[in-house]
Amino acid sequence: MTPSIPFDHNSSILIIGAGTWGCSTALHLARRGYKNVKVLDRYELPSPISAGNDINKIIEEGPSTSSSGDSLNETLRRLATHGWLHDPVFSPHYHNTGYAICAHTPAGLEQLIKHEKIHENPDFEILDTPEKFRALMPEGILTGDFPNWKGGFRKTGAGWVFARGALMSAFYEASRLGVEFITGPPGDVKTLLVENGDVVGAETADGTRHLSKTTILASGAQAPDLVDMKDQLRPTAWTLAHIALAPSECLMYKNLPVLFNLESGFFMEPDVEHGELKICDEHPGYCNWSTDTTGNRINIPFARKQIPKEAELRVREFLTHTMPHLAERPFSFARVCWCADTPDRNFLIDRHPDFKNLVLAVGGSGHGFMHITSVGGFIADAMEGTLDEVLKQAFRWYVLREPITFSLLLRCFKIFLRHVLSASHDKLPLNKQMLMHPLGRRPETAVGRDWTDVQDRMSGPNKVMDFGDVQEWTDIKPDRRYESQ
Domain ranges of the chain: 13-90+163-232+343-395, 99-155+234-341+456-482, 406-435
Query: Residue 439's pLDDT band (boundaries 50, 70, 90)?
Result: very low
How far is residue 455's CA from residue 444's CA, in Å, rounded to a whole number?
13
What are 261-303's pLDDT values in tens digits?
A: 999 999 999 999 899 999 999 999 999 999 988 888 899 999 9
Distances (CA, A) of 271 to 99, 109, 162, 389: 17, 30, 8, 40
CATH 3.30.420.40 assigned to domain 99-155+234-341+456-482? The reply is: no
Residue 403 has pLDDT above 90, yes or no: no
Neighbours of 366 (CB within 10 A): 15
The gap from C-alpha 238 to its chain's centroid, in whole angstroms, comes to: 11
Q: Which is higher by pLDDT, 172 or 446? A: 172
Which range has the worst mean pLDDT, 30-34, 143-147, 336-340, 453-457?
Answer: 453-457
Let me know: does 398 contact 442? Beta carbons within 8 Å: yes
Distances (CA, A) of 65 to 82, 123, 246, 367, 412: 10, 16, 43, 21, 34
Could you give the 3-state DSSP secondary structure of residue 450? coil
Q: What is the pTM assigned to this prediction?
A: 0.89
How far is residue 243's CA from residue 481's CA, in Å, rounded to a whole number?
14
Which of the listed ranges 288-292, 322-326, 433-437 does the model predict with the highest average pLDDT? 322-326
For 13-90+163-232+343-395, give the CATH class: alpha beta
What letter would DSSP give residue 308?
B
Which of the listed ranges 382-396, 409-423, 450-464 does the model predict with the highest average pLDDT? 382-396
